[in-house]
DNA sequence: TTAGGCAGATTAAACGATTAATCACCTTCA
DNA sequence: TGAAGGTGATTAATCGTTTAATCTGCCTAA
């Protein structure tokens, strides 16, 4: 059991051929007779040969590693993104190096720098809202929103919003409260725009921004939803499942029934959306497709550098053939027909504990 | 602006010295006169020199990259872990390559293999429950539970449970429902054990396992908490915030007040715990310390290979001086004194309940 | 005076893979 | 018979860094 990491030269001397031939056989590039290729493959497998990434990287100038920069690694959406990117990258033969930018814009630049120093071939980045990445010294795939300049691919947030709005309209909701986090996010503006379009011109909407509310009331302060419901709101459409959850518990804690009295919707289909009671109606992103498109575009740019355009190094955002990926409406239990259990009917319905 | 990636030799010829001297000066290893070191440092900075990871890796045999394997990348705890590990690794000068094992045991082995092929110097792994990692061809830091053999470091889940139990006992709870996911997790057994110890011998406890419940009732099925509360349970201690959330909404949806009628506790302090109403009392892990200890132990093993024990390569789980990190009790609004708003009191005010 | 020692540099050999250039040999056709 | 062409393999250079070994003066002590 004394095999100190077999290298090309070991295979070569085992078979009595040159390293170059072994390399050619394994990569299928040079001219090697079919039967020799077969023998080389066999002994390589037998010896458990694993090419040295370092050696290859040094020679070819490419590391086979992609960087992944996320705006806020603690974001509950992160697992989905990371998993999807990792999977897509692995499929294309790339590894994924992570870096977080902790929401700070300076840290984001620094994180990119660290990745470059580590020799990544390309970077997938979900930019901090309001940031625009232009240059970085290597190809970049930007996942933000279709309305962001330089965006490579993302979910079709506007259309997602529109369909969610339509869903509520079809249920008869005409007085809807919209809740977002902050006004500067392109993703959130897209969703809001779509939501309003889907609800149609006959619906009355009001928009609440949590960031503003908390600036006054402190983090985690009540959103004052009970008053809104008393004021006639029959549906609350949030721009994130986290907010939906916050709304849901605030309402339930006040004894307001969801969805009988008021419907609640979210966005993103986060992990808990399907375990809470009532299970959350939400709009899911197809992270798999998004990741696949982003990684493919990136890899094309990386490998195109070597082949096609002689020496013209891509450096900056790449573009993909498809840049908007449809979202999927997941109808569960938190939305219902408007007016079923209006606040007046509340006492009667709540009495039936066993229902 | 024509700087095609300055390398050592460029600095060398700019100053008219040899590459070796430059290398020595920059690494502080050989013998170089202080003033020359200074000059070399200066021109290196001026030229914007960045060492080639590939070249260094090839020569030293070390890549400066750590692998991170997670049992289920979709786990809501993942962001915290990934962020902490990435931060600790960056502090030690290492990058982090991610790999997910999608919960499958075979995928976990395969993920480890891919990391090794990419030349990682060490691996941090949160093993799938029930798995035991013995060998992998490089140093490994295992983050599981103190009662797992081969564990490197983890939170003190038992003590965390004990303190949570004590908290409930002090509030007067003597009839407590425990909810876990599955019986095979060491982490969960530790927490349950501690919980029972903390509640003391005078408390009656019953344990619910979600995995079993769902095997019969389907994923996301009701946990039947209302009946338990009717049966006299005054507190529900869950082994995860996700479960706590599930319990909380199930109770609230049925019109049961938390914490007046029943207290609910979680574990892990996940992102939403502080935004739901009532905010969740939970037990937080110090992921920062855990990650720091894991990475330090790993780096010691990696760099010790080269120096101390000549040629004796560490390969497999490493151990750390401190292996149990205290958890922090976060008391918020979901726990209260037992018996404040018992179901009987509730019945009297709100009228009789059906069935 | 000279051997020894040391500081401060240089030389040169790796590390493992890729690849352009070259070579030896065999066919084939003029 | 000999030149051209093709096939299958080899040679050798190269990627950028590290590091053991070596070299060159110069200072000191015997």
Chain segment A124-146, per-residue pLDDT in tens: 999 988 788 777 789 999 999 99
Residue of B nearest to A275 (CA): B220
CB contact under 8 A, B74 and A97: no
What does the pLDDT read at residue A76?
84
Q: How far apart are CA B113 and CA B137, in angstroms?
A: 9
Q: Is the pLDDT confidence value at B79 over 80?
A: yes
Least confident of A85-89, A222-226, A346-350: A346-350
> Does A60 map to a domain?
no
Angular region, A162: left φ>0, alpha ψ -120 to 50, beta rest: alpha
Same domain, yes or no, for B190 and B148? Answer: no
Per-range mean pLDDT, top range of A216-220, A280-284, A306-310: A280-284
Mind telling me how many Å the CA of B149 is from chain A's nearest CA?
27
Residue B40: CATH number of its domain: 1.10.260
User: Does A96 touch chain B if contact means CB atoms closer than 8 Å?
Assistant: yes
Q: How far apart are CA B303 and CA B228, in angstroms?
A: 55
pLDDT digits (tens, 9 = 90+) for B181-199: 999 999 999 999 999 999 9
Q: Is the pLDDT confidence value at A352 over 70?
A: no
Q: How far apart are CA A228 and CA A61, in angstroms?
A: 60
Same domain, yes or no, for B216 and B309? Answer: no
Terminal-to-terminal C-alpha distance of chain A? 67
What does the pLDDT read at residue A351?
36
What does the pLDDT read at residue B343?
58
Same domain, yes or no, for B192 and B338? Answer: yes
Q: Is the CB of B56 under 7 A from strand D?
A: yes
Q: Is the pLDDT confidence value at A321 over 80?
A: yes
Same domain, yes or no, for A229 and A146? Answer: no
**Dihedral angle sign, alpha carbons of residues B341, B343, B345, B351:** positive
Same domain, yes or no, for A148 and A84? Answer: yes
What does the pLDDT read at residue A74?
67
Q: Is the CB of B7 under 7 A from strand D?
A: yes
* Spatial contact of A122 and A301, defined as CB atoms under 8 Å apart: yes
> Does A351 map to a domain?
no
Q: Is the CB of B30 under 7 A from strand C?
A: yes
DSSP label at B289? Answer: H
* Interface size between A and B, measured as CB pairs under 8 A: 181
Q: Is the pLDDT confidence value at B160 over 80?
A: yes
> Does A165 map to a domain?
yes
SS (H, E, C) chain A: CCCCCCCHHHHHHHHCCCHHHHHHHHHCCCCCCHHHHHHHHHHHHHHCCCCCHHHHHHHHCCCCEEEEEECCCCCCCHHHHHHHHHHHHHHCCCEEEEEECCCCHHHHHHHHHHHHHCCCCEEEECCCCCCCCCCCCCEEEECCCCCCCCCCCEECHHHHHHHHHHHHHHCCCCEEEEEECCCCCHHHHHHHHHHHHHHCCCCEEEEEEHHHHHHHHCCCCCCCHHHHHHCCCCEEEECCHHHHHHHHHHHHHCCCCCCCCCEEECCCCCHHHHCCCCCCEEEECCHHHHHHHHHHHHHHHHHHHHCCCCCCCCCEECCCCCCEECCEEECCCCCCCCCCCCHHHHHHHHHCCCC
pLDDT digits (tens, 9 = 90+) for A207-252: 999 999 999 999 889 999 999 999 999 999 999 999 999 999 999 9
CB contact under 8 A, A271 and B114: no
Q: Is the CB of B32 under 7 A from strand C?
A: yes
CB contact under 8 A, B276 and A97: no
CB contact under 8 A, A252 and B249: yes
Least confident of A298-312, B8-22, B95-109: A298-312
What does the pLDDT read at residue A313?
63
Report residue B3's pLDDT band, with 50, 70 and 90 as the boundaries.
Answer: low
User: Does A221 touch chain B if contact means CB atoms closer than 8 Å?
Assistant: no
Q: Which nucleotide is nearest to B32 (CA to C1')?
A: C8
Instruction: Give the residue-averaged pLDDT of B46-75.
Output: 92
**Dihedral angle sign, alpha carbons of residues A310, A312, A314, A319:** negative
Question: For chain B, how many structural domains are there in total?
Answer: 3
What does the pLDDT read at residue B73?
66
Q: How far is the CA of B30 from the C1' of D19 (A)?
A: 9
User: Does B218 touch chain A if contact means CB atoms closer than 8 Å?
Assistant: no
For chain A, give the mean pLDDT: 90
DSSP label at B73? Answer: T
> Does B3 map to a domain?
no
Q: Is the CB of A56 under 7 A from strand C?
A: yes
CB contact under 8 A, B245 and A76: no
Q: How far apart are CA B47 and CA B5, in angstroms?
A: 9
In sequence order, which ranges of chain B are alpha helices (DSSP H)? 8-15, 19-27, 34-47, 53-60, 78-91, 105-117, 157-170, 186-199, 210-217, 225-230, 241-253, 287-306, 343-350
User: Does A91 touch chain B if contact means CB atoms closer than 8 Å?
Assistant: no
pLDDT digits (tens, 9 = 90+) for B329-349: 999 999 999 988 765 544 433
* Spatial contact of B180 and B237, defined as CB atoms under 8 Å apart: no
Q: Which nucleotide is nearest to B21 (CA to C1')?
A: C9
**Dihedral angle sign, alpha carbons of residues A215, A220, A221, A223:** positive
Same domain, yes or no, for B183 and B260? Answer: yes
User: Does A78 touch chain B if contact means CB atoms closer than 8 Å?
Assistant: yes
- Domain of residue A42 covers 8-51
Q: How far apart are CA A325 and CA B180, in angstroms?
A: 37
Of A68, A86, A100, the CB nearest to B100: A86
> Does A175 map to a domain?
yes
What does the pLDDT read at residue B352?
38
pLDDT digits (tens, 9 = 90+) for A169-215: 999 999 999 999 999 999 999 999 999 999 999 999 999 999 999 99
* Spatial contact of A247 and A226, defined as CB atoms under 8 Å apart: no
Same domain, yes or no, for A12 and A126? Answer: no
Instruction: Give the residue-averaged pLDDT of B295-307.
Output: 83
For chain B, give the mean pLDDT: 90
**Percent of chain B scoring above 70 in pLDDT:** 92
> Does B354 map to a domain?
no
Same domain, yes or no, for B233 and B219? Answer: yes
What does the pLDDT read at residue A149?
92
> Does B278 map to a domain?
yes
Q: Is the pLDDT confidence value at B13 over 50?
A: yes
Residue A212, token pair as written in the block: 């503003």
Same domain, yes or no, for B107 and B241? Answer: no
Q: How far apart are CA A61 and CA A123, in angstroms?
A: 16
Q: How far is the CA of A28 from the C1' of D5 (A)?
A: 23
* Spatial contact of B139 and B301, defined as CB atoms under 8 Å apart: yes
Of A86, A253, A272, the CB nearest to B242: A272
Same domain, yes or no, for A206 and A337? Answer: yes
Instruction: Give the residue-averaged pLDDT of B199-211.
Output: 97
Residue of A nearest to B352 (CA): A351
Q: How far is the CA of B60 from the C1' of D28 (A)?
A: 39
Q: Is the pLDDT confidence value at A3 over 70?
A: no
Residue A334: CATH number of its domain: 3.40.50.2300
Q: Which residues of B touch A116 (CB under 8 A)?
A: 50
**Percent of chain B scoring above 90 in pLDDT:** 80
Q: Is the pLDDT confidence value at A7 over 80?
A: yes
Q: Which nucleotide is nearest to A58 (CA to C1')?
A: D15
Same domain, yes or no, for A118 and A225? Answer: no
Instruction: Give the residue-averaged pLDDT of B263-292.
Output: 96
Q: How far is the CA of A34 from the C1' of D6 (A)?
A: 16
Same domain, yes or no, for B302 and B291? Answer: yes
Q: Which of residues 25-54 of A touch B (CB under 8 A)?
A: 50, 52-54
> Does A355 map to a domain?
no
What does the pLDDT read at residue B137?
85
């Amino acid at each position: 059991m004394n095999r100190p990491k077999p290298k090309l030269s070991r295979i070569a001397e085992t078979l009595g051929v040159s390293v170059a031939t072994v390399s050619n056989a394994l990569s299928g590039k040079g001219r090697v007779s079919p039967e020799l290729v077969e023998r080389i493959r066999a002994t390589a497998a037998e010896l458990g040969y694993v090419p040295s990434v370092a050696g290859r990287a040094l020679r070819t100038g490419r590391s086979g590693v992609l960087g992944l920069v996320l705006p806020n690694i603690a974001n509950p959406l992160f697992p989905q993104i990371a998993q999807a990117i990792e999977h897509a990258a692995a499929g294309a033969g790339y590894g994924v190096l992570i870096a977080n930018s902790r929401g700070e814009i300076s840290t984001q630049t620094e994180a990119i720098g660290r990745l470059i120093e580590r020799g990544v071939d390309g970077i997938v980045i979900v930019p901090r809202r309001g940031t625009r990445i232009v240059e970085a010294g290597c190809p970049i795939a930007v996942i933000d929103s279709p309305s962001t300049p330089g965006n490579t691919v993302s979910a079709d947030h506007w259309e997602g919003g529109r369909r969610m709005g339509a869903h509520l309209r079809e249920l008869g909701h005409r007085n809807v409260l919209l809740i977002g986090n902050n006004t500067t996010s392109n993703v959130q503006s897209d969703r809001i725009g779509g939501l309003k379009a889907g609800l149609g011109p006959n619906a009355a909407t009001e928009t609440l921004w949590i960031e503003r509310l908390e600036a006054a009331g402190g983090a985690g302060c009540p959103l004052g939803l009970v008053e809104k419901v008393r004021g006639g709101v029959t549906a609350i459409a949030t721009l994130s499942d986290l907010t939906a959850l916050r709304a849901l518990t605030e309402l339930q804690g006040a004894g307001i029934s969801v969805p009988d009295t008021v419907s609640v919707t979210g966005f993103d289909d986060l992990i808990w959306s399907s375990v809470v009671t009532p299970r959350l109606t939400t709009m899911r992103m197809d992270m798999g497709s998004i990741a696949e498109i982003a990684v493919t575009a990136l890899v094309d740019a990386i490998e195109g550098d070597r082949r096609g355009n002689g020496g013209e190094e891509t450096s900056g955002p790449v573009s993909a053939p498809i840049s908007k990926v449809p979202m999927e409406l997941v109808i569960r239990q938190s939305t219902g027909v408007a007016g079923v259990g209006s606040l007046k009917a509340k006492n009667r319905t709540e009495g039936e504990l066993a229902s």
